[in-house]
């Protein structure tokens, strides 16, 4: 493989956009993480940053999520449906009100979720990081 002009990988006679160009668009996307388990939240942060996203904030409780949605804002969010025994549906409703796309990561099935979560993309735990990144990229591209 030869390197042609910056930003493109030259293989044979065709030029292809590499993952780096796709991730450049992600670097501008600010993602809010709403997750009460610190290890899972940190794992999500790492996955998102490595994929080229910026993390707008991490909220482990509904109140903090609502504050971040209102004061900091984000381009998309990844949220757990259950935060320390409390439903994250107020956060899902606030994201929907702001027309902010979101992904629901949950151990529940989609049928078990409250209506406020149905406006988001559902991914059941456990999940693959690539699945999360693909879905997040898709909802951002659809905006």
Rounded to whole angstroms, the Cα distance separating 54 from 26 reads 8
pLDDT of the residue at 27: 58
Q: What contacts 78, CB < 8 A, 6 or more positions away? A: 31, 32, 33, 34, 35, 44, 48, 102, 103, 105, 132, 136
CA angle 55, 18, 78 (to 5 degrees): 25
Query: Is 6 a residue whose pLDDT tops 60?
Result: no
Q: Which two tokens stand for residue 35?
A: 């997750």
pLDDT of the residue at 19: 55
* Domains defined along the chain, listed by start: 27-141 (3.40.50.2300)
Rounded to whole angstroms, the Cα distance separating 92 from 106 reads 13
Mean pLDDT of 95-119: 95
pLDDT of the residue at 14: 38
Mean pLDDT score of the chain, rounded to an integer? 86
What residue has token string 């409703």? 93
The 10s digit of each residue's pLDDT in 18-75 is 455 445 455 589 999 999 999 999 999 999 999 999 999 999 999 999 999 999 999 9
What confidence category does residue 97 fall into, taking pLDDT thresholds of 50, 70 and 90?
very high
């Amino acid at each position: 493989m030869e390197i042609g002009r910056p930003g493109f990988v030259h293989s044979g006679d065709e030029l292809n956009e590499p993952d780096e160009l796709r991730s450049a668009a992600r670097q501008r996307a600010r993602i809010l993480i709403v997750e009460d388990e610190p290890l899972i939240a940190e794992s999500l942060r790492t996955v998102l940053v490595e994929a080229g996203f910026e993390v707008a904030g991490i909220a482990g409780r509904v109140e903090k999520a609502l504050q971040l949605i209102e004061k900091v804002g984000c381009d998309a969010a990844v949220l757990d449906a259950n935060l320390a025994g409390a439903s994250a549906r107020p956060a899902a409703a606030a994201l929907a009100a702001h027309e902010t796309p979101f992904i629901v990561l949950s151990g529940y099935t989609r049928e078990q979720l409250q209506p406020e979560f149905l406006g988001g993309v559902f991914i059941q735990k456990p999940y693959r990081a690539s699945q999360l990144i693909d879905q997040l990229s898709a909802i951002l591209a659809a905006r």
